[in-house]
Amino acid sequence: MKREIAKVKMEFAKEEFITKGKDLALNLTANLDSIQSELNNSSDLIIRRFGLGGSRQDQGAVVFIDGLVDKKEVEWSILRPLMLKEAPISDKPEGEDRLEYIELSLITVGEISREHQFNRIIAAVLSGKTALLIDGSGEALAIATPGWEKRSVNQPDSEVIVKGPREGFIETLRTNTALLRRKLGDPGLTLEALQVGTRTKTEVCIAYLKDIADPKLIKEIKQRINRINTDGILSAETVEELIEDAPLSFFATMGYTERPDVVSAKLLEGRAAIFVDGTPVVLTAPFLFIENFQSPDDYTYKTYYGSMIRWFRYTAFGISILLPAIYVALTAFHQELLPTQLLITMAAATEGVPFPGVVEVLGLGVIFEIIREAGIRIPRPIGQTVSIVGALVIGEATVTAGLVGAPVVIVVALTAISSFVTPSIVQESKIIRLGITILAGFLGAFGITIGLLAILIHLASLRSFGVPLLSPMAPMHLRSLTQDVLIRAPWWMMFTRPKAIADQNRTRQKFYSRPGPPEEGESEENR
């Protein structure tokens, strides 16, 4: 907590309009008035004046924001001990040592701090603390009595998995970090808090494992976050866009997740996680392209099926970016590649269709996107009807009306479905698909390959916090490749962390730690 305060101080040091904040006056009323004026008498600002130790004239006051604090806490642990008669305050001399006495022996709240600067009191009050001011002291107590509404921890809708933990992050930073702590008992787990957003004052927290994560990486992340100079941070994506390596690239260079288990797995691989207060999404860096195809389920399935499903995912990605282009290329340029029967069938199906194949594919793709968007935006129950109407009725009708050929509908539908197999890369795949389909419409297979080459070059040139995005394919690290890319190796074979990420501390476990029953002559201890 001390460190956070220090950070807050540092943060404020950057802002000139508060740095000329004055100290507290000795007069209580004056202080309260200036607090009120500073907060423009907001209706949710509550100032409760009272007398210490049952004395008549008011010598103290608590200041807090209604809704941010737990009222019971304030009443029981602050007001009660101070106001009751038996509290021997009156015989304490006025001023700081009286306040000290209160802090030390009366207030029964865990987190408490002394402040003498005016603006700091304000900040504390605004961040859900209760300020205790007493007459005749140039200092005040900032008492943490947080008690605002929060969502309960449950499975995130975006990342549903079959086996494995069901909990997901919520909007409150502390809860999220607590979830992470519960997963990682290692004392090396470090949480560094920064505050960004000159007006939102959003708390951003970098989490990493000290002896695993690359110090340079952490330094880099901190520098980039401190470089942020915007007035408001409302979501993790904002932070991502403000600190990522290739802002203009349409490939993501940072990972995101809503699951504590995923975050802890990534931390264990030597990555760093960035929590942003007010959003359940947690960013992870550095990011590898391959992570788009890794799902937490891979690691809960047995290794064979895990590897198989991963290859299905690669295939699905291939389909989602290539299928329309391949369809166009085959039907418009390379008919000789189709089996004769299939060619005849397709010729029959597209007979008399007014538009060329490219136009059909692109148009239908656009229509599909519109339907999807509509299905998402409007309320759930209607949404499903919309998607059904769109998909079935429109699809069927266009074919029967002879506007598009049946194969095109199949192609577009298949593409759409397989593009949702890898949710984290769905945006990229859409852009790529569009571009490559157009290229294919002009130049067939040549166009497709040229497009893929251009994308490959772009990917190869991308880095995420100094790590090549295409690693471990290029530059190639066979160990990492065989552990978690080509196959999902069984846990007892994942000896090392990815070389590209955690190079200074790679060993995860003893080299050959294959489980099995004890062979005779060897006892449980020495194996």
Partner 1 sequence: MSYLEQGKISGSQLVILMVGFLLGSSVVIFPGQAARQDAWIAIIIGAVEGGIFALIFTTLARRFPGKTMVEILETVFSPYLGKLIAVIFVWYAFHDGSFVIRNFTDFFTTTVMIETPNIVFAVLLTIVAALAVGNGLEVITRCSLVLVPLTVLFLLVTFLAQLSQVEWTNFLPVFEIPVWQLLKISHSAAVFPFGETVFFLMVFPFLNRTKECRRKTVIGVLLGALLINIIAWGGIGVLGPTRALFTYPAYEVVKMFNLPFINTRFEIIVVINFLTMGFLKLAVLYYVTVLGLGQIFHLRSLRPLIIPIGILMIILSIINFSGITENFEFNTTSNLIYSTFFQLVIPLITLIVAMFRRLPRRERGC
Partner 2 sequence: MKLQNRLTFSILIIAMTLIGSGCWSYRELETLGIVSGAGFDLGKDPEQVLLTVQVIKASKGKGGGNGSLGDGQGQGSRPQPVAIVESNGATAFEAVRNAVSKFSRRLYWPHNQILIVGKEAAENGVKNYLNFGIRQTELRPTAWIMISPGKAGDLIRAPGEMGQIPAMEIKDMLQAQSATSEIGSFTFYDFIERLMSKTTAPLATQIRLNKEGEVELAGTAIFKGEKLVGFIGKKETRGLLWVIGKIKSGVVIVKAPANKGKVSLGIIHAAGKIQAETKNDSVKITVKVNVQSGLGEQTGDLDTSKPEVIKSLARREATVIRNEINAAFKKAQELNADIFGFGEAVHRADFKAWKKLEPRWDEIFPKLKVKLIVKTNISLNGLINKPISQK
* 335 contact, one of partner 1, partner 2, none, CB 5-8 Å limit per kind: partner 2
CA atoms within 13 A on the CB side of 394: 16
* 76 contact, one of partner 1, partner 2, none, CB 5-8 Å limit per kind: none
From candidates 336, 519, 520, 524, binder to partner 2 by CB under 8 A = 336
Q: How far is the CB of 350 from partner 2 (least distance, A)?
A: 5
From candidates 248, 379, 510, 521, binder to partner 2 by CB under 8 A = 248
CA distance 484 to 471: 12
Nearest to partner 2 of 209, 252 (CB atom): 252
Task: Determine if 409 is a binding residue for partner 2 (CB under 8 A).
Answer: no
Q: How far is the CB of 340 from partner 1 (least distance, A)?
A: 9
Nearest to partner 2 of 336, 520 (CB atom): 336
Q: Is 325 exposed, middle or buried (0-12, 13-18, 19+ CB in 10 A)?
A: buried
Gyration radius (Cα) of the chain, Å: 30
Nearest to partner 1 of 367, 434 (CB atom): 434
- Interface residues with partner 1 (CB under 8 A) are 333-334, 336-339, 443-446, 449-450, 453-454, 456-458, 460-461, 468, 470, 473-476
Q: How far is the CB of 339 from partner 1 (least distance, A)?
A: 5
Q: For the chain, first and last CA: distance in Å?
A: 43
- 481 and 473 Cβ atoms separated by less than 8 Å: yes
Q: How far is the CB of 460 from partner 1 (least distance, A)?
A: 4
- 167 and 153 Cβ atoms separated by less than 8 Å: yes
Q: Are strands 140-144 and 202-209 parallel, antiparallel or unpaired?
A: unpaired
Binding window for partner 2 (CB under 8 A); candidates: 89-97, 347-355, 411-419, 502-510: 347-355
Task: Determine if 395 is a binding residue for partner 2 (CB under 8 A).
Answer: no
Q: How far is the CB of 223 from partner 1 (least distance, A)?
A: 21
Nearest to partner 1 of 1, 476 (CB atom): 476
CA distance 275 to 281: 7
CA distance 22 to 337: 81
From candidates 7, 92, 114, 458, binder to partner 2 by CB under 8 A = 458
- 473 and 245 Cβ atoms separated by less than 8 Å: no
From candidates 399, 470, 473, 502, binder to partner 2 by CB under 8 A = 399
CA distance 185 to 189: 8
Q: Are strands 463-464 and 467-468 parallel, antiparallel or unpaired?
A: antiparallel
Q: By three-state DSSP, how is residue 302 classified?
A: coil
The beta-strand segments (E) located in 269-365 are: 272-276, 282-285
CA distance 130 to 145: 6
x-or-dash string of contact with partner 2, 416-455, rule CB under 8 A: -------------------x---x-xxxx-----x---x-
* 460 contact, one of partner 1, partner 2, none, CB 5-8 Å limit per kind: partner 1
What are the helix (H) ranges across 350-475? 357-377, 380-388, 395-400, 406-419, 426-461
Question: Given phi > 0 = left and psi -120 to 50 = alpha, else beta, which region is 230?
Answer: beta
* 440 contact, one of partner 1, partner 2, none, CB 5-8 Å limit per kind: none
Nearest to partner 1 of 13, 453 (CB atom): 453
Dihedral (CA of 164, 168, 174, 175) sign: negative
* 475 contact, one of partner 1, partner 2, none, CB 5-8 Å limit per kind: partner 1
Q: How far is the CB of 458 from partner 2 (least distance, A)?
A: 6
- 443 and 395 Cβ atoms separated by less than 8 Å: no
Main-chain phi, psi angles of 112, to 5 degrees: -150, 150
Task: Determine if 36 is a binding residue for partner 2 (CB under 8 A).
Answer: no
Binding footprint of partner 2, residue count (CB under 8 A): 39
Task: Determine if 356 is a binding residue for partner 2 (CB under 8 A).
Answer: yes
Q: How far is the CB of 333 from partner 1 (least distance, A)?
A: 7
Binding window for partner 2 (CB under 8 A); candidates: 211-219, 383-391, 399-407, 475-483: 399-407
Task: Determine if 352 is a binding residue for partner 2 (CB under 8 A).
Answer: yes
- 192 and 203 Cβ atoms separated by less than 8 Å: no
From candidates 143, 217, 263, 353, binder to partner 2 by CB under 8 A = 353
Nearest to partner 2 of 336, 524 (CB atom): 336
Q: Is 199 exposed, middle or buried (0-12, 13-18, 19+ CB in 10 A)?
A: exposed
From candidates 12, 299, 333, 368, binder to partner 2 by CB under 8 A = 333
If you ran DSSP here, which 8-state letter would residue 496 be given? B
* 91 contact, one of partner 1, partner 2, none, CB 5-8 Å limit per kind: none
Task: Determine if 304 is a binding residue for partner 2 (CB under 8 A).
Answer: no
Per-residue CA distances from 55 to 78, 93, 102, 105, 282 (Å): 16, 14, 15, 19, 51
Task: Determine if 335 is a binding residue for partner 2 (CB under 8 A).
Answer: yes
Q: How far is the CB of 465 from partner 1 (least distance, A)?
A: 17
Residues forming contacts to partner 2 in the complex (CB under 8 A) are 246-249, 331-333, 335-336, 340, 343-353, 356-357, 399-402, 405-406, 435, 439, 441-444, 450, 454, 458, 461
